[in-house]
Amino acid sequence: MSIQATLITLKNIPKGIPKPDDFEIIQSKIREPKEGEFLAETIYLALDPYVRVTMVGRHFFNTPEIGDVPRGSTISRIISSKHNSYKEGDLVVMESGMQSHAISDGADVYHVNTGSAPITTALGILGMPGFTAYSALLGPAQLREDDVVLVSAASGAVGSMVGQIASIKNAKVIGIAGGKEKCQWTIKNASMENCIDRKRDNIDQKLSELCPHGVDIFFDNTGGEIQKIVLSNHIALNSRIILSGMISQYNSSKPPSGPNLGNICKQRAIIFGFVVYDYEHMKESFIKDALSWYKQGLLHYSEDLVFGIENTPDHFIKLMKGENFGKTIVQFMDL
């Protein structure tokens, strides 16, 4: 069997927001899997914000070089296998990167298990982003009933799950999102009691109105100006701050100016630098809870999906501009 794979490779290391000509689409022949390996074709590719920081060496994953295929989680179908645990036809979640085919030895691979939910949720609310929300809230954030939880990038895969899980646990949730449509969606679908439009509202003033006693948990997915305002003026006594993502600075080469840390001391707040891969021990309980919540109609999500591998660079650029609405996915072929 001789297969021509399609690969998205890096033509330049992007400066600022990536541009279409930072990427190149090439064809390459793929080899047969060896003993202990399998070959899989990509059906869905997740575009995750952290991939941008790997491109400039600011992430603990390998930094790709010019000509390399950028990272990416995929839902893939095994088309040929010499591996004992994975057989032809199996659907798996794996790290194929931005390419149509990949060979794997089974490391970091697991079978798709989305119960009654659509299969793409394995890359979103029932996958790594949903698990980020779950493990951070129930782990270091020590979510309690009646906590006031504030989450930025509230309509995204991580943010919307923060809202819904916190609400299931009887906390009050306020979101911050970009634009009226996203804000309305978070209130209707992601259990936010209110949502601040970061593009139109005065965030500082709105937070004083909505959370007069401050927030108990700040789930920060953006960093930047939002982080500065919240940490300087709006954290409650003994608050917990989850530094989940800093998307406002992923395309920037200059470090941002920091918030007023005097307020962290005054409020006896705790800041956690959070990395989801440290919480594998909570994965089993996440899947059990999330599948059950979905079945009960408690979980909703939004996806920003396009068809065609050739659209991968543009869809990634859309995510980097903050123009995506929900989990950003590229579908390469019919299921």
Ligand X SMILES: NC(=O)c1ccc[n+]([C@@H]2O[C@H](COP(=O)([O-])OP(=O)(O)OC[C@H]3O[C@@H](n4cnc5c(N)ncnc54)[C@H](OP(=O)(O)O)[C@@H]3O)[C@@H](O)[C@H]2O)c1
Q: Applying CB under 6 A, which residues contact ligand X?
A: 48-50, 129, 132, 153, 155-159, 177-178, 182, 198, 221-222, 224, 244-245, 247-248, 274-276, 319, 322, 324
CB 243, CB 219: distance < 8 Å: no
Taken in order 20, 22, 23, 28, the sign of the CA dihedral is positive
Name the E strands within 47-111: 74-81, 91-94, 101-104, 110-111
Least Å from the CB of residue 35 to ligand X: 34
CB 177, CB 183: distance < 8 Å: yes
Residue 209 CB-density burial (10 A; 0-12 exposed, 13-18 middle, 19+ buried): exposed
Least Å from the CB of residue 49 to ligand X: 4
Nearer to ligand X by Cβ, of 9 and 222: the residue is 222
Least Å from the CB of residue 80 to ligand X: 31
Least Å from the CB of residue 82 to ligand X: 33
Nearer to ligand X by Cβ, of 101 and 240: the residue is 240
Residue where the block lists tokens 């659209």: 311
**Lookup: tokens for 204:** 């500082």
Nearer to ligand X by Cβ, of 51 and 211: the residue is 51
Element (H, E) at 180: helix 180-189
Least Å from the CB of residue 145 to ligand X: 25
Element (H, E) at 250: none
Rg, the chain, Cα only: 20
CB 98, CB 128: distance < 8 Å: no
Nearer to ligand X by Cβ, of 149 and 158: the residue is 158
Nearer to ligand X by Cβ, of 5 and 229: the residue is 229
Nearer to ligand X by Cβ, of 5 and 320: the residue is 320
Residue where the block lists tokens 């032809």: 88
Least Å from the CB of residue 83 to ligand X: 28
Beta bridge partners of 271: 241
Least Å from the CB of residue 53 to ligand X: 8
Nearer to ligand X by Cβ, of 81 and 96: the residue is 96
